[in-house]
Amino acid sequence: MIHWLTYLFSTVLINDSPEPQFQEQTLDSNIEIGYGLAIGDVNGDGKPDILLADKKEFVWYRNGDWQRFVMVENLTESDNVCIAARDINGDGKVEVAVGAQWNPSETVNKQKSGSVHYLIRPDDPTQTWEPVKLHHEPTVHRMRWVKAAEDLFHLVVLPLHGQGNKGGAGEGVKVIAYEQEDEKGRQWKNWVIDQSMHVTHNMDPVPGEKGEALHIGGKEGVKTFTYEDGDWRSGSKEGWLINEYGFGEIRIGKGAKGKPFLTGVEPFHGPTLSVYTSEEDQPFALGNLNRTVLTAAMKQGHGLATGDLLNMGMDQIVVGWREPNDNGDLGIKILVPQEDGSWEKHWLDKNGMACEDLKVADLDGDGKPEIIASGRASKNLKIYWNKSY
């Protein structure tokens, strides 16, 4: 077990213009898998903390001294798999939900596969949190808090497969929304918002006019949902934003002049990073998108984020993969858009991070987003402090 106040530093310098420059800090070199990350203020001190879904523990690391605290351990027989954290009631502290009993090959038996729990915070958040068991389907895999409307948040949960699904065929995935009905968090209603996709892998909520639009990626492509008249609805043409390629990870970024783009790992755990853009005078919608392959040299692509790390006025892409590729390399790269429409690729971490998940967030309040990543085979959790400008 490492001492939590002992940090390992190194500097990553990338010599191109604009020049990404990051200082690497290892918070934990003893995690078991690092299935999922979330960022948010756990203790109400105004600083974002790091939350982690590890194999048998849900933990958080306190911003500043980065001390590690266990929220819940040994929640289910099988592994933990996902975590969602967001302040949904405006008190300055995140609410936390978690998913466990990770058993992707069991798509029928709900007792042996999948779990969803809301965690009730204690008065002292460094102590054990109380899990409240919620409805679940088999193969629970991803969850996010999504802003449906002003002062209304839903927990949206994605199973990997539909119930009884075999080989990506059969019943569609039940995308489930949960809404809190009491102040404490013991009573929740839930309903299915979609069951048209097979093998869903990840999702990304994006701010809209009233709430957030929700983009879900999976075997058949990407669908978009918005909250209208009391329910989540897909748009025209059955809500498909993309329906020609399958996806694992997806993220929406901000391009030049604020125009959105979508980037994704294709297909499920695939080698390909793509970006989808539309012409300046065309809406960002099915039929108007141009696909560009940025790389096809990953193996087990599994971490993806967008953010303006370099103060360019548009987003860059951060992507990670967890197994050595044909060149024997794994890690994280930053891709920077160029004036001619190309993307420059820069190593952030070469062979030091078998990336399972990553996030982008400003951890020290200097206006420059950091990169936070957890590693599977590398068994580590790192912050890459932004020193780029």
**Predicted local distance difference test score (pLDDT) of residue 17:** 52
pLDDT bucket at 235, cuts 50 / 70 / 90: low
Share of the chain above pLDDT 90, in %: 86
**Three-state secondary structure call for residue 364:** coil
**Predicted local distance difference test score (pLDDT) of residue 236:** 56
- Rounded average pLDDT over 104-128: 97
Q: Which residue, among 264, 272, 268, has the nearest Cα to 304 in the 3D structure?
A: 264
Greater confidence (216 vs 280) lies with 216
Query: How far is the C-alpha of 188 from the C-alpha of 135, rounded, in Å?
Result: 9
Task: Check pLDDT > 70 for residue 287.
Answer: yes
**Predicted local distance difference test score (pLDDT) of residue 7:** 32
Task: Check pLDDT > 60 for residue 261.
Answer: yes
**Predicted local distance difference test score (pLDDT) of residue 3:** 31
Task: Check pLDDT > 80 for residue 213.
Answer: yes
Determine which of 48-62, 275-289, 296-310, 374-388 has the lowest per-residue pLDDT on average: 275-289
Task: Check pLDDT > 90 for residue 169.
Answer: no
pLDDT bucket at 239, cuts 50 / 70 / 90: confident
The CA–CA distances, whole Å, from 42 to 36, 62, 71, 360 equal 16, 8, 11, 17
At 44-95, the pLDDT tens digits run 999 999 999 999 999 999 999 999 999 999 999 999 999 999 999 999 999 9
pLDDT bucket at 210, cuts 50 / 70 / 90: confident
**Predicted local distance difference test score (pLDDT) of residue 214:** 96
**Predicted local distance difference test score (pLDDT) of residue 184:** 94
Greater confidence (11 vs 211) lies with 211
**Predicted local distance difference test score (pLDDT) of residue 13:** 37
**Predicted local distance difference test score (pLDDT) of residue 366:** 97
Q: Which residue, among 75, 100, 192, 96, has the nearest Cα to 153 in the 3D structure?
A: 96
pLDDT bucket at 187, cuts 50 / 70 / 90: very high
Burial of 191 by CB count in 10 Å (0-12 exposed, 13-18 middle, 19+ buried)? Answer: middle
Task: Check pLDDT > 90 for residue 267.
Answer: yes
The CA–CA distances, whole Å, from 170 to 97, 165, 227 equal 28, 5, 27
- Rounded average pLDDT over 264-282: 94
**Predicted local distance difference test score (pLDDT) of residue 47:** 98
Task: Check pLDDT > 90 for residue 262.
Answer: yes
The CA–CA distances, whole Å, from 246 to 56, 167, 217, 235 equal 30, 14, 8, 19
pLDDT bucket at 2, cuts 50 / 70 / 90: very low
Greater confidence (312 vs 6) lies with 312
**Predicted local distance difference test score (pLDDT) of residue 12:** 39
Task: Check pLDDT > 70 for residue 10.
Answer: no
- Rounded average pLDDT over 188-209: 94
Q: What is the mean pLDDT of the chain?
A: 93
Query: How far is the C-alpha of 346 from the C-alpha of 207, rounded, in Å?
Result: 29
**Three-state secondary structure call for residue 258:** helix
pLDDT bucket at 209, cuts 50 / 70 / 90: confident
- Rounded average pLDDT over 188-215: 94
Query: How far is the C-alpha of 214 from the C-alpha of 146, rounded, in Å?
Result: 8
